[in-house]
Structure 1
């Protein structure tokens, strides 16, 4: 496929798979927007293979997860070697890699995240949780930073980009506790459940809702810290990229804040952010993008592995 055809296929993928990301991506300049779409299409396809989904829809049983992960690794390696794969989503990651200085270690780290999901992995400790969040989302923040022009050796800015991905994933985990439980998954650390005296697999029972709400409160506070850190890093980006990042940060931060505000009712139905609220964040973020960078240190926050350690 030509580059233009790959971009168009990727545009259709993001429009179908994530309205929030599609909206935020339109704030980028065209070259950045197109590379972001290409990266998204590969991420979406890999995630769907690992989870037995179609653009993030209902999960189906994956009978041979190891084969799916092997397919992801093989097709990705082929694309990174500059060879056509027969699948536009995988050709897209090859295109992005050629157009940017994308470290292949980031791509490998994300594939590790897909493998963790396909193996129904669950965390024992908070550090396990954050390590998982890095592999499925924090590293995507790093990859998007490279797409937006951040140098791969700018560790400080990449740390902040990773923090945004961590905030996104922690917000998703807080929102999706019930949905994950329905398919036999739990991303709440076992240590937290033990401390709350909740038996394994029982956290969605009605009489544990109060304790579950306490965990959601803690997750929301974590989201707030990582979101605040990411806002500092956004100041290093070009204006339109900064605007997009700040809008996405506000939208996903609202997911966690809404879960926290709903308390025990947070999982009665899926928490969504209205289109009007999203547009409000787009306007608010434009103002934030021209303000001086906020001050927020990273002391006490989890730090991603360096490229040399990946």
Structure 2
């Protein structure tokens, strides 16, 4: 997955550490592309109404299915779930370290990984309270380790069965039975905050898709994939980042905005990485929309920037921007110490879309990126937005 900020964010692509690879012995799988890796009851600003032939119940769109997860997570926050804090304060080992020391070390390791692979976001987390900062690091590392299963050096050996074992490990983690120190950090986090397990399971489901699926027939299918690999991160991290006490927004609307930011980031990844994905035989673009634009997979594999392609890309970029717009109102509702890193992420990732336009929509041979100078300018602007407070809506 491309590196983005958490609320936001998926783990960074093509980066590995031996820390992150102590996952499942003997597992392996197919290489997946870098871009991977996220209602009748709710109206998103994107007004999407497509229905997927792959959805088990054709009467329900992907947005409706995902919204059920949003409602469940929001309900946990409202109910102030009973804390199941792990007992890391007793047993003393032979080296004189007790379990509390080991847990602190686990959190510090998570912070080191975050600092190495998500530098901008890491700086933003330093403004959070120590407890929230550590919890966000733990979530980031779990997402990164999960992504490494299908995007790391052992990717060609990963099988669906290996992902099943990883999901079983997740279940144990949520039950307070971590397998290693990094698991222990997340196990402690989900015991302290009202975090639901479903978004974590859904992210693993997104990894499963990457083992066998390389085409998406319509946007409804693509939306569900974007939720799995990126939108889930927003649902995981909002309980930790917290909602501002003065916010008048509903909990559901804040989670919807977090979801929208994850979708926007993943759509941006996809548009940025069209050429790279094509070289791996993958097309993460709605097939029906390509056809309506007079385009096909063969046109993408040829990599020619034509008027048809420019017109198609303009529509795709417009959709991604609508999701970013949807997300903005939710960022403003977060607790004061959490807003800056999320604003920075939103602004910097949205600028990738600008870069695609600057490259004349050539995302076949040119990689759109935000230069260091623009990043430097954006950070104080994001900080200013974070200080503005919440919207009373």
TM-score band (shorter)? 0.7 to 0.9
Say yes or no: does 1:256 pair with 2:349: no
| Higher gyration radius (CA) | 2
Q: Would you say the 8 A contact 2:313–2:361 is kept in 1?
A: no
Shift of 1:96: 2.0
Q: Secondary structure at the match of 2:157?
A: coil
Map 1:1-310 onto structure 2 (within 5 A).
Answer: 2-51=102-151, 53=152, 61-86=155-180, 88-150=181-243, 154-207=251-304, 209-291=306-388
Gaps of 5+ in 2: 1-98, 245-249
Shift of 1:71: 2.6
Q: Which one has a larger percent helix, Structure 1 or Structure 2?
A: 1
Structure 2 Cα separation of the partners of residues 270 and 6 of structure 1: 36
Structure 2 Cα separation of the partners of residues 12 and 198 of structure 1: 45
Q: Would you say the 8 A contact 2:103–2:184 is kept in 1?
A: no
CA change 1:183–1:95 in 2 (3 A) is: farther
CA change 1:256–1:97 in 2 (3 A) is: same
Structure 2 Cα separation of the partners of residues 79 and 281 of structure 1: 38
| Deviates most, 98-107 or 198-207 | 198-207
CA change 1:258–1:143 in 2 (3 A) is: same
Gaps of 5+ in 1: 55-59, 297-310
Normalised to the residue count of structure 2, the TM-score between the two structures is 0.67
Q: Secondary structure at the match of 1:268?
A: coil
Q: Which of 1 and 2 has higher RCO (CA within 8 Å, sep 6+)?
A: 2
Normalised to the residue count of structure 1, the TM-score between the two structures is 0.84
CA change 1:18–1:185 in 2 (3 A) is: farther
Shift of 1:48: 0.7
CA change 1:214–1:36 in 2 (3 A) is: farther
Shift of 1:226: 1.3
Equivalent pairs counted in the alignment come to 288
| Aligned alpha-carbon RMSD (Å) | 2.5
Q: Deviations over 1:128-177 (max 9, x none)?
A: 111111111112112111111249x8211100111111111111111111
CA change 1:150–1:72 in 2 (3 A) is: farther
Structure 1 Cα separation of the partners of residues 258 and 288 of structure 2: 28
Q: Secondary structure at the match of 1:203?
A: helix
Moved beyond 4 Å, runs of 4+: 292-296
Structure 1 Cα separation of the partners of residues 185 and 221 of structure 2: 31
